[in-house]
Amino acid sequence: MSKLFSPFQLGPYALQHRVVHAPTTRLRANPDDSPSELMVEYYAQRASAGGLIITESTHVSYDSRGYLGAPGIYEDSHIPGWKKIADAVHAKGGVLFMQLGHDGRQSHVDLTGGPLPIAPSVVPFETDVLTHNGWVPASPHRAIDIDEIQLVIEYYRKAAVRAKAAGLDGVELHSANGYLADTFLQDGTNKRTDAYGGSIAKRARFLLELVEALVSVWGPGRVGVRLSPSGQWGSISDSDPEATFTHVAQQLNKFGLAYLHIIEPRVKGVETLDEHQRPVASEFLRKVFTGTIISAGGFNGEGAEAIVRKGDADLVAFGRFFASNPDLPYRLRHRLPLNDYDREAFWGGTHVGYTDYPAYHASAFARAA
């Protein structure tokens, strides 16, 4: 029997399988950052009975934006659109968590409304962000004042309140991929000498205070955290990632999280878990984190089954293959061929490469015709 398709209790939610829709930025929100009807259709297509969907990164404040077209939850006006998505997922028996994020220094003054993007410290780097003028280099950033940090934490708390009002089932803190929380945590980007920088414990403080704020709204079993110990996106780095992320995982144990979501390098676990494709972060964090672990990182069905059987992860998140296969759990369970994904349609656009991928039975019918 496949363990990937065995039941699992995620906090208060009874999942029927362990295939998770990963938070995948697609940039198809309305101009006011509210969810579009196209987004409602996308999530409804990918919902399954007892399946967990984590939404794309959702901005907690106007000035936290880094990519035009990403949705927000920083205004009450955003709640109705998210409620439509939650209702659509629930109608198919699915569970929906919202990923909350602040893009930090990966932004531009055209997106923040004028202020410089913020980071724990000024560490020059190069990346492109999406604005009304297309993909452009990120603006220079500034170090956030210590007095402002509590204001940002309050943005997250209010966003969590709005997500709850919209009828979602939980929230995930995006502390990965070189965005704001991740830059506080890692010493390649955090050069502060105050209470939020220096030692691992001080660098982890911002992340842990964010988690505390989210749990104050949702309670235990309904908040997840996403980390990328091996990540390099956004020019992120740490001198001792195993020590840093081990400390964080140990500290997260006290919150009763729904899960810890770990991003592995994409080359890890694509085929089977041999010595060259071993998701090392999930393995070393499993030794210290006592709760549920979700692993993500380019897995196929065989790799996902292997890591769950090995015990280094309880669930496996899929991004690219879920993008092109709305019925991915069904296809993996029955070992059916997968639709190819269109990378050119990942970030922004229309329904093409977004909601026009057929389910297996529909594609089989098309081939027969």
pLDDT of 284: 84
HEC string for 203-265? HCHHHHHHHHHHHHHHCCCCEEEEECCCCCCCCCCCCCHHHHHHHHHHHHHHHCCCEEEEECC
pLDDT of 366: 46
**71 within 8 A of 353, measured Cβ to Cβ:** no
* Rounded Cα distance, 299 and 264, in Å: 10
pLDDT tens for each residue of 179-217? 999 999 999 999 999 999 999 999 999 999 999 999 999
pLDDT of 367: 41
pLDDT of 368: 38
Q: Which residue in 39, 21, 20 sits closest to 348, CA to CA?
A: 39
- pTM of the entire structure? 0.94
pLDDT of 274: 44
- Active-site residue, selected from the candidate residues 155, 179, 354, 357: 179
pLDDT of 298: 86
DSSP state of 145: P
* Rounded Cα distance, 360 and 349, in Å: 24
pLDDT of 24: 95
Q: Which residues of the chain have pLDDT under 70?
A: 266-281, 362-369
As a residue count, the chain comes to: 369
E strands of the chain, at which residues?
8-10, 13-15, 19-21, 52-54, 58-59, 95-101, 118-119, 128-131, 134-137, 142-143, 170-175, 223-227, 259-263, 293-296, 315-318
pLDDT of 363: 54
Question: Backbone dihedral region of 67: left (phi > 0), alpha (psi from -120 to 50 degrees) or beta?
Answer: beta
**188 within 8 A of 247, measured Cβ to Cβ:** no
Q: Determine whether 354 is an active site residue.
A: no
